Homo-oligomer: A and B are copies of this chain.
Amino acid sequence: MSDRNMSPKITGELLRQLRQVMKNCKYVSEPLQAYIIPSGDAHQSEYIAPCDCRREFICGFNGSAGTAIVTEQYAAMWTDGRYFLQATQQMDNNWTLMKMGLKETPSQEDWLISVLPENSKVGVDPWIIAADQWKAMSKALTSAGHSLIAVQENLIDVVWVDRPQRPSTQLRTLGSDYTGMSWQDKITALRAKMTERKMSWFIATALDEIAWLFNLRGADIEYNPVFFAYTIVGIDTIRLFVDIKRLADPALREHLQLDTPSKPELHIQTFPYESVFAELQAICTALGHKDKVWICDKASCALTQVIPQAHRSTIPYTPLCLAKAVKNTTEIQGMKTAHIKDAVALCDLFAWLEKEIPKGTVTEISAADKAEELRSQQKHFVGLSFPTISSVGPNAAIIHYRPLPETNRTLTVNEVYLIDSGAQYIDGTTDVTRTVHFGTPSAYEKECFTYVLKGHIAVSAAVFPNGTKGHLLDSFARAALWESGLDYLHGTGHGVGCFLNVHEGPCGISYKTFADEPLEAGMIVSDEPGYYEDGAFGIRLENVVLVVPAKPKYNYRNRGSLTFEPLTLVPIQVKMMNTELLTQKERDWVNEYHRTCREVVGAELERQGRKEALEWLIRETQPIV
């Protein structure tokens, strides 16, 4: 990921070249009247490698979400409200910003139909567009007399002369002491699901699913310990598509049993990353009458369309995604350990900030750097799990803020400070947000903080029946804010991987989706309500929480109940609370949470000899009344 540029990219010449390529019969069988450049890679990753930042390359805008479309006359880029300002700054006047979510903004389809000459060809790279998006776009264009064309060679790559290489970092093997389950057992469980659903083949395209399946990690994408690969699992074959050079390491070969497979059906055949298309084609040519191929409905259009429709079975969440979401005992233990280490680093950070801020030398960037330094001192630290959001005063009201030299503010005793950060440790992934004041918060800041806290507790302490989907809990986080006319415009929680992506499916807590899978004991999600006062301050309070069985008084229809156990163990600043607004139950929750923080993190601080942090912890976890 590149940093945020504040001056627009000059794109006139690039667009001229792209428009030439759009008509060049070396790349397209018929001239294109438009070319779509989505963000994203061939694996539909949330974070992408530099070589895949094609939309940024062509228009200059480098936010995480956006789609560019270039026609013979126009160039337009669609993004959402988080990025309107940034996109305006980063794009030159060859580009029109299409503000998604505003009523007057046309959809990509409607806009294309309004500007294209009759019977136009619209091109797109079928590897970058998901199968379901292709379908919707193709239908809209076709009904207006145009057609959507899959252009095999990416036309941005043609004009991108210094495009970076696809990363091929060293692979790390994880033993059962970290994963709790061998890849062989994961393959066996996957095949059981395939048999149950009468599937002959399963295609894995999501990078975190492949890393999880083989108990391997890479560093191909910043913050996400994954590597570029595909996998095709048959009932008695396993095909792994990956840069073959990466497989030279003897320990890795041993881990994957490449040379000495224990059983023939556990023999991994390795192929170059690029050969997945040809190999899947070969498999599909030889499909029997009843053979079914299982693939995620968010997989690339290119791979999906190789599978003949009669043999294709698409699903919103793959069996790997579902299995990965429910953490086993070893993973849970690892996540707990990681969160204790992470809490040690944060206690250290807050003790340090308290001391340093009055000197006027701490900035958003230096605080973030300090947090990273302290985390890196912890055992098994690998890197951050996402770019640290370190934000003071009005900057914290920008939900996806990331400090840059041009925006960097100094931490003072006069403004609220919000830090949302996390790390990758070999034993687990963390993600925590705390909002603190180093002087005296205003009554209004305290009031808003307390509503957010009430929402956080309402979710964390909720008891709900087995089978409940996370989106049904979202309103609990908002009720206290709503009662006072306040709200926040983001979801309340996301799934968290175990030494994997900090955002993962299939569960979450959000009003936005209805397609999440029910919460199950062993799933791990974040609980992060907030409140943002534009131009003034931002508040967010985030714990990572584990879904655990609950034992309420009754057990209706033997369904069983669930609740959450916080994995994050960092004190919540009492100074920011208006404790009069808390009920007795809420006060009890705060005291019980702080007792656990003191006990568990205190012991580790003691063991690590971090005295100042320990003193800070003890002071910050005094019971409230």
Pairs across A and B, CB under 8 Å, 25 listed: A143-B310, A462-B479, A462-B482, A463-B483, A464-B478, A465-B485, A472-B474, A472-B475, A473-B475, A475-B475, A476-B479, A482-B552, A482-B561, A483-B552, A484-B552, A484-B554, A485-B550, A485-B552, A485-B553, A485-B556, A486-B554, A486-B556, A487-B557, A514-B514, A583-B583
Residues of B close to A476: CB separation below 8 A:
475, 479
A26 located at the interface, meaning its Cβ lies under 8 Å from any Cβ of chain B in the complex? no
Residues of B close to A484: CB separation below 8 A:
552-554
A511 located at the interface, meaning its Cβ lies under 8 Å from any Cβ of chain B in the complex? yes
Chain B residue with the shortest CB-CB distance to A515: B514
Residues of B close to A310: CB separation below 8 A:
143
Which of A486, A511, A550, A559 is packed against the most chain B CB atoms within 10 Å? A486
Taking A485-B550, A485-B556 as given, write out 15 further A-B residue pairs in contact, using a Cβ cutoff of 8 Å, ordered by the A residue number. Answer: A143-B310, A462-B482, A463-B482, A464-B475, A473-B475, A475-B475, A475-B476, A482-B552, A484-B552, A484-B554, A485-B552, A485-B554, A485-B561, A487-B557, A514-B514
CA distance A143 to B557 in the complex (A): 39
Contact of A482 among B465, B514, B557 (CB under 8 A): B465
Residues of B close to A474: CB separation below 8 A:
472
B464 near A555 with CB under 8 A, answer no
B556 near A487 with CB under 8 A, answer yes
Chain A residues bordering chain B, tally (CB within 8 A): 31
Chain B residue with the shortest CB-CB distance to A451: B554
- A455, chain B: closest CB distance, angstroms: 13
Residues of B close to A514: CB separation below 8 A:
514
Residues of B close to A473: CB separation below 8 A:
475
Question: Which residues 534-590 in A have Cβ within 8 Å of B in the complex?
Answer: 550, 552-557, 559, 561, 583
- A517, chain B: closest CB distance, angstroms: 15
Residues of B close to A478: CB separation below 8 A:
464
CA distance A482 to B561 in the complex (A): 8
Chain B residue with the shortest CB-CB distance to A561: B485
7 residue pairs, one from A and one from B, having the closest CB atoms = A485-B552, A514-B514, A485-B554, A486-B556, A472-B475, A463-B483, A484-B553
Binary flags per residue of A482-512, CB closer than 8 Å to B gives 1, else 0: 1111110000000000000000000000010
Residues of B close to A483: CB separation below 8 A:
463, 552
CA distance A487 to B468 in the complex (A): 11
Residues of B close to A556: CB separation below 8 A:
485-487
CA distance A143 to B310 in the complex (A): 7
Q: A310-B143, A475-B475 are in contact. Are A464 and B482 (CB under 8 A)?
A: yes
Question: Which residues 234-252 in A have Cβ within 8 Å of B in the complex?
Answer: none
Residues of B close to A485: CB separation below 8 A:
463, 465, 550, 552-556, 561
- A443, chain B: closest CB distance, angstroms: 12
- A623, chain B: closest CB distance, angstroms: 23
Residues of B close to A557: CB separation below 8 A:
487
Contact of A487 among B462, B465, B482, B550 (CB under 8 A): B465
Residues of B close to A552: CB separation below 8 A:
482-485
- A506, chain B: closest CB distance, angstroms: 16
Question: Which residues 449-479 in A have Cβ within 8 Å of B in the complex?
Answer: 462-465, 472-476, 478-479
CA distance A561 to B482 in the complex (A): 8
CA distance A310 to B143 in the complex (A): 7
Residues of B close to A143: CB separation below 8 A:
310
A511 near B472 with CB under 8 A, answer yes
CA distance A62 to B108 in the complex (A): 49
- A279, chain B: closest CB distance, angstroms: 26
CA distance A552 to B556 in the complex (A): 37
Residues of B close to A487: CB separation below 8 A:
465, 556-557, 559
CA distance A473 to B476 in the complex (A): 9
CA distance A447 to B351 in the complex (A): 48
- A156, chain B: closest CB distance, angstroms: 34
Residues of B close to A486: CB separation below 8 A:
554, 556
CA distance A556 to B539 in the complex (A): 14
- A479, chain B: closest CB distance, angstroms: 7
- A611, chain B: closest CB distance, angstroms: 41
- A230, chain B: closest CB distance, angstroms: 27
CA distance A484 to B464 in the complex (A): 9
CA distance A583 to B584 in the complex (A): 11
CA distance A554 to B488 in the complex (A): 13
Chain B residue with the shortest CB-CB distance to A555: B485
- A481, chain B: closest CB distance, angstroms: 8
- A380, chain B: closest CB distance, angstroms: 38
Residues of B close to A550: CB separation below 8 A:
485
CA distance A443 to B474 in the complex (A): 33
Chain B residue with the shortest CB-CB distance to A473: B475
- A238, chain B: closest CB distance, angstroms: 30
Residues of B close to A511: CB separation below 8 A:
472
CA distance A356 to B474 in the complex (A): 48
CA distance A474 to B484 in the complex (A): 20
- A105, chain B: closest CB distance, angstroms: 17
